[in-house]
Amino acid sequence: MALAYEVITTSFRTELHARWSAVFDRLQVPWVYEPQVFTAGDGRTCMPAFWLPRERIWFDAVTAPGHEDLGWWRRFAAAAGGWEYYPTDTFFDEQDWDSPVHVDEAWHGRALLAFGPLPMAYGDDGLDVWQSSPEGGMWVYDDAMYWWTLCPVCGYFGAEYFGQAERLSCECLNDREHNKTRNGHDVRLLKAYQDGWNESVEEVLVAVGGGRAGHQWRRRALIPRQGAAEAARHCVAQCRSVAEVLREELPEEAYADAEEGHQLCDSCPGFVCTGCGAEPAAAPGEYCRSCEPLPLLSDAHARDLLNLRAIELSRLHKEQLKIIHPVINKAMGVRWRGDARLADLAVGLTQVEHWLAHPGSLQIPNPTLSEEEIDMLSGAEVRQEIAARVGTLSAVVHDTIPMVQMRINDAIGVRTRAEADEEQLRAGLRQVRLWLQAPASYREAAG
């Protein structure tokens, strides 16, 4: 299936969660939001916010201590780590510590809890990024001051004491004693935190039952998967495969198993996940966003990626970026990149990745010609090449087309183009090429 970008909306219980999801997206860390409810011996339940399946990390964030039952959370952290819980710390509310939480081995992992707003780069060195957190970092089960960190060698992502990257399990740095790399201020991390702060998060009121209304925080982002937006739009959140429903409703002898029955959703007009069967999938045989989480692209990330793809396109076609960018803008139906909205960026990224995969499919108008190429052209061809560039030149130098035409004629010493011989025309095309490459020289020559 072709790679295609689509706009989807994701919902979160708190604004802080929405912003953290944008941080993980920028770092290309797959996340699942509230995939599981856990129950304690006393019957109380909790839903940790994020599961990072690749790193096997549970992560939650609260604006201030006291907002959640932190004692419960700590018992969860012990259970998720596969350890016996014993109370040692006075920071957490420990009244109910003898009521353990059950966490299936499939969900075992490290648990981290962040207090306060997102980290942020302060001052010039950007060192103390967790300054606003009351704990100076994230809590693990029995210790604080943990920061997200990235391996400077392989890019491995994790959380370590003061962000010391040599403690990461990739072991690239492999020097625990002498080389304390406080990589919690890695420029990629700082950029991701900044994205989290900048992310546009919308607060909406939703019905929560019993006539009561609750709050949700939503963000819109791109997902690189065709059909995902459609699947999410039509899902009524009660997905079960047709096969499963039939097997329950029909007498055993009347039920005939068929492959399609397992892929079609009984409630939505689409497909069910081939993994869990409980969430919508973009296409038959595919996984849902929980079973196979893909990092999303926020607006800023989509623009950065589009710029990167434009550079790749420019190298592939040996063409200047200032020729490539207008071609991309045109494909998105915008005049300037700044006018592009998220849906336009989805179109642009989809189109550019298609051009990259099938280089013959992109026809660049007015490609830059080399000296040798200009020498090879016939007089009629040179005339055409000039004519084809006049519109672009007029836009680039902010001058009218008749003025541009006159300036070309002046440059080659003729009153009308018809008078020009082949050599003069070649000189004209070279002049146009120079002005396109350095628009300022057009204005300077005028003075």
For Zn ion, the binding residues (CB under 5 A) are 151, 153-154, 156, 170, 172, 235, 239, 265, 267-268, 273, 275-276, 279-280, 288, 291
Structure tokens at 64: 């201030």
Q: How far apart are CA 199 and CA 398, in angstroms?
A: 35
What is the dihedral angle through the alpha carbons of 29, 34, 39, 43, rounded to the nearest 10 degrees?
Answer: 150
**Nearest-approach distance from CB 271 to Zn ion, in angstroms:** 8
**Nearest-approach distance from CB 164 to Zn ion, in angstroms:** 13
**Nearest-approach distance from CB 246 to Zn ion, in angstroms:** 15
**Nearest-approach distance from CB 174 to Zn ion, in angstroms:** 9
Residue whose pair of structure tokens reads 């190429």 in the numeric block: 373
User: Which residue, 248 or 252, has its beta carbon nearer to Zn ion?
Assistant: 248
Q: How far apart are CA 388 and CA 382, in angstroms?
A: 10
262 and 240 in contact (C-beta within 8 Å)? no
* One-letter amino acid for residue 10 of the chain: T
Using alpha carbons, select from 46, 48, 49, 97 the residue that is nearest to residue 71: 97
The three-class DSSP label of residue 414 is: coil
User: Which residue, 241 or 329, has its beta carbon nearer to Zn ion?
Assistant: 241
User: Which residue, 265 or 420, has its beta carbon nearer to Zn ion?
Assistant: 265
**Nearest-approach distance from CB 289 to Zn ion, in angstroms:** 8
Cross-strand bridge partners of residue 264: 271
User: Which residue, 235 or 393, has its beta carbon nearer to Zn ion?
Assistant: 235
User: Which residue, 291 or 324, has its beta carbon nearer to Zn ion?
Assistant: 291
**Between 321-332 and 342-357, two packed helices, what is the crossing angle to 10 degrees?**
120
User: Which residue, 234 or 443, has its beta carbon nearer to Zn ion?
Assistant: 234
427 and 411 in contact (C-beta within 8 Å)? yes
156 and 169 in contact (C-beta within 8 Å)? yes
**Nearest-approach distance from CB 242 to Zn ion, in angstroms:** 10
The three-class DSSP label of residue 150 is: strand
Burial 86-106 (b: 16+ CB within 10 A, else e): eeeeeebbbeebeebbebeee
User: Which residue, 183 or 329, has its beta carbon nearer to Zn ion?
Assistant: 183
**Nearest-approach distance from CB 81 to Zn ion, in angstroms:** 23
